[in-house]
């Protein structure tokens, strides 16, 4: 069965490790400030958000440790691939996220980056880290679901 997708969304990159390493509480959509050469690299799909996270500085949120490769045609005006990038959210949402980060021990993890109506967006999840036994439980559940689907396919 083909998965339905929104025709206005073009997914650039996914953070597959995030759902294995973290429990998600809330998910927010944020804009991201990019330079010209950065957006060209993003359109080419040269992005990695696997080890990135968001931090708070001066009442604003920044994406740290994300890697956007250099754009070859922008020789002198090229960007630093591992710069911090500012996230665009409403002030009310920023205050809510900062409160959760400081009070409850949550962290902000990007789950995917995509284009929505021509603008680069990033999906930020308020997440809490999993313990080792939680990860084993996730592996066990995933293996059981795979085996269960095999049994049903063979029986029908």
Q: Does residue 54 contact residue 67 with C-beta atoms inside 8 Å?
A: no
Q: How far from 5 is each of 10, 18, 50, 66, CA to CA, in Å?
A: 9, 21, 22, 25
Instruction: Among 20-29, 34-43, 132-141, name the one with the lowest average pLDDT.
Output: 132-141
- Output the DSSP codes for 12-53: EEE-HHHHHHEEEEEEEEEEE---HHHHHHHHTT-EE-TT-E
- The pLDDT value given to residue 2: 55
Percent of the chain predicted with pLDDT > 90: 49
Mean pLDDT across the chain, nearest whole number?
88
Closest CA to 112 of 25, 4, 24, 29: 29
pLDDT above 70 (res 25): yes
Q: Which domains does the chain have, with CATH numbers?
A: 10-130 (2.40.280.10)
pLDDT above 70 (res 146): yes
Per residue in 63-98, pLDDT (tens digit) is 999 999 888 888 777 888 888 999 999 999 999 999
- The pLDDT value given to residue 47: 92
Tell me which long-range contacts 144-147 makes (C-beta under 8 A, separation of at least 24): none
- The pLDDT value given to residue 7: 67
85: number of Cβ within 10 Å = 21
DSSP code at position 143:
H
Per residue in 96-119, pLDDT (tens digit) is 999 998 888 799 999 999 999 989
């Amino acid at each position: 069965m083909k998965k339905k997708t929104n025709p206005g969304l073009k997914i650039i990159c996914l953070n597959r490790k995030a759902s294995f390493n973290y429990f998600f509480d809330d998910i927010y959509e944020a804009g991201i400030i990019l330079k010209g050469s950065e957006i060209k690299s993003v359109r080419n799909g040269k992005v990695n958000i696997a080890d990135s996270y968001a931090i708070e500085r001066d009442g604003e949120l920044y994406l740290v440790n994300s890697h956007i490769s250099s754009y070859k045609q922008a020789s002198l005006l090229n960007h630093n691939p591992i710069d911090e990038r500012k996230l665009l959210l409403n002030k009310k949402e920023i205050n809510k996220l900062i409160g959760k980060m400081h009070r409850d021990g949550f962290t902000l993890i990007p789950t995917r980056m995509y284009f929505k109506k021509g603008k680069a967006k990033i999906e930020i999840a308020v997440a809490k880290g999993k313990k080792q036994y939680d990860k084993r439980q996730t592996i066990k559940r995933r293996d059981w679901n795979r085996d269960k689907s095999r049994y049903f396919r063979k029986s029908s």
